[in-house]
Every structure is written in C-alpha cells, then in structure tokens.
Amino acid sequence: MDHTEIIKALGTFLAVMNPFLSLPVFLAMTAGFSAGQQRALAFKVTVYSAIMCLIILLAGQKIIGFFGITIDQFRVAGGIVLAQISWSMLNGSTITSHQGSDHEQAQAQNLSGLAFYPLTFPLVIGPGTIATTIIYTGPGSSVTDMMEIGGIIAGILLILFITLFFAAAIGRVMSETMRTITTRLMGMILLAISVGMVIAGLKATFPGLEH
C-alpha cells in the first residue's frame, strides 16, 4: 500500500477500534475493581483482541468465501455497518453493535468471561473491525500489505492496552468534553471512509453505475 492508503487504513482502524471510546465502558464495568484487577483485565482484553484479529487476518477471506460472498459485496455491507457506527458516534448514541445492549452488558457482569465478552467482543472487535480487516486484506493483497495492516492493528492494540491499563488515571484526567470531541471527530472521519467503501463496492458489483 502507498502512504495514502496506509494513512486511510490507520484512520479507519483507529476510528472503529477507538481505545478512548472503550474507556468509559471499561470503567463502568470494572467499578469496584482494584487497580490490579483492572490491569489484569486490560491485559486479557488486549490478548483476546490480538488473537481475534490474527484469526480474521488469516482466515477472514476464506470465511466469507465459504458463504459465497464476494469481497465487493462485503465491502458494501461493511461500509453500511461502519456508517451506522459513525452515525451513532456523531450523535452521541450508544453503539449497540459494538457495545452490546444494556441487557447484554448487565448479564456480562455476572459472567467469568467478562474479559472476552463484551470487552473484547463486540466492544473492541465488533462488526466494524471485522469488516474493515477483511476488506483491507482482500484479493490482491500482498504479504507486505498483510504485514502493514497487522502492524497498524498491533499499534492500536498497544494504545488500547496502555489506555485500559491506566484507565483509572486517564478517566480522572480526560474530561467528558474531550471524550465527546474525540468521538465526534472520529465519527466524521469514519463516515467519510464508509461512504467511499460503499461507492467502491457498488461500482465493482454493478459496473454500469460508472457510466
């Protein structure tokens, strides 16, 4: 990928895996936990997220191929999912596709698998992240492209780990206004990228649209 594509991919993954968007949910679900417990949970969430991303990177294409879905069809569907997520970010609404419903989150607090659900899936690795990963590693992607995408994801997961590891301290410093501004900005960037995905997918699926 050229530098423009790398920057676009970085912006997309940063928006859909936004560590600071996960922060308030993490703090709410670990209320009453000790700092040690929060940090252990942060480590597990990061490891689970890395494993899921690796699986998607290596097998994502085969999975959609098994269901007879083309990458362009998936690009349109993924763009729509990203648009829904970005619209929620712009309007300050709860992103249920990534965060789960209130009922699901309440149930998860009573489960031993809190680190995986809902903190890893679907909060960090949700439909948007899965769709974006598969789209950027579609047919024609070289080993170098795969490594570049893997490097971008690894960098964001490192930011996620640091954010969640120091969640209590960051939560005290980062004001609600700052969180809101960051979320709105990422939402606008993500919406623009998702529109591009849908248009590219439609043009490839229906060649006549270009004329």
Q: Which pair of structure tokens corresponds to residue 23?
A: 């922060």
Query: Looking up tokens 């679907």, which residue turns up?
Result: 122
Could you give the 3-state DSSP secondary structure of residue 92?
Answer: coil
Q: Give ∠ CA 32-35-38 in degrees, rounded to 5.
A: 75
What is the pLDDT tens value at each position of the chain, 211 positions in all? 788 889 989 988 988 888 877 787 787 677 678 888 889 899 999 999 999 999 999 998 888 888 888 878 888 888 888 788 778 878 876 555 444 555 555 544 433 477 887 788 877 887 778 888 988 887 778 889 999 999 999 999 999 999 999 988 887 787 777 767 877 887 787 788 788 888 888 888 888 776 6
Widest distance between CA atoms in the chain: 61
> What is the model's pTM?
0.72
Is residue 33 within 8 A of residue 119, CB to CB? The reply is: no
- Which class for 62: exposed (0-12), middle (13-18), buried (19 or more C-beta within 10 A)? exposed
**Listed residue (26, 11, 10, 48) closest to 170, CA to CA:** 26
